[in-house]
């Protein structure tokens, strides 16, 4: 399943990489666009201010650690279905963004949502998989405590 999430992210970025920077396609007016953003930071451009090599090493290391930890817990005994799916989404998303960082030096973000003056930072499928994966992991842990 991890490879499925990675593949969805990779294929979407492959097709959207044909855009140019600042290219916008309006999907739903005043709400949703497809854009081309080269994100050199983590989520929402966080850490983009660090100098090149330090940012690159840090982001590669963090992504690799996340993937290793996810795979470790994925194959432990007694892993629930919810936890397994959450971990596979987390690992697939992390691998998708890790691939981009290694190959391109940045992550391609393209989903662009906004309402009036509020503009949510651009993101991609990998970011969505990571977020949903973390929510599923938290749900699994909280539901086991109750």
**Candidate list 9, 100, 112, 127, residue with the active-site label:** 127
Q: What is the pLDDT of residues 41-81, one digit of tens each?
A: 766 556 656 666 777 788 788 888 988 888 888 888 788 99
**Phi/psi class of residue 16: alpha, beta or left (left: φ > 0; alpha: ψ in -120 to 50)?**
alpha
Output the pLDDT for position 144. 84
Average pLDDT of the segment spanning 25-31: 94
Token pair 């971990």 in the structure block, residue = 87
**Candidate list 9, 100, 109, 140, residue with the active-site label:** 109
Of the two residues 107 and 49, the one the predictor is more confident about is 107
9 is catalytic: no
pTM: 0.85
Structural domain count, the chain? 1
Average pLDDT of the segment spanning 8-31: 91
Q: Is the pLDDT assigned to residue 35 strictly greater than 80?
A: yes
127 is catalytic: yes
């Amino acid at each position: 399943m991890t490879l499925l999430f990675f593949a969805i992210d990779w294929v979407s970025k492959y097709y959207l990489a044909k855009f140019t920077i600042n290219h916008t396609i309006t999907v739903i007016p005043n709400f949703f666009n497809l854009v081309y953003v080269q994100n050199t930071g983590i989520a929402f451009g966080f850490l983009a201010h660090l100098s090149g090599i330090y940012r690159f090493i840090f982001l590669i290391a963090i992504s690799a650690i996340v993937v290793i930890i996810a795979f470790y817990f994925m194959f432990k005994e007694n892993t629930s279905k919810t936890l397994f799916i959450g971990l596979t989404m987390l690992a697939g998303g992390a691998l998708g963004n890790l691939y981009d960082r290694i190959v391109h030096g940045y992550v391609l973000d393209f989903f662009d949502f906004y309402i009036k003056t509020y503009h949510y930072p651009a993101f991609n499928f990998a970011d969505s998989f990571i977020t949903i994966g973390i929510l599923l992991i938290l749900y699994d842990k909280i539901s086991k405590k109750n």
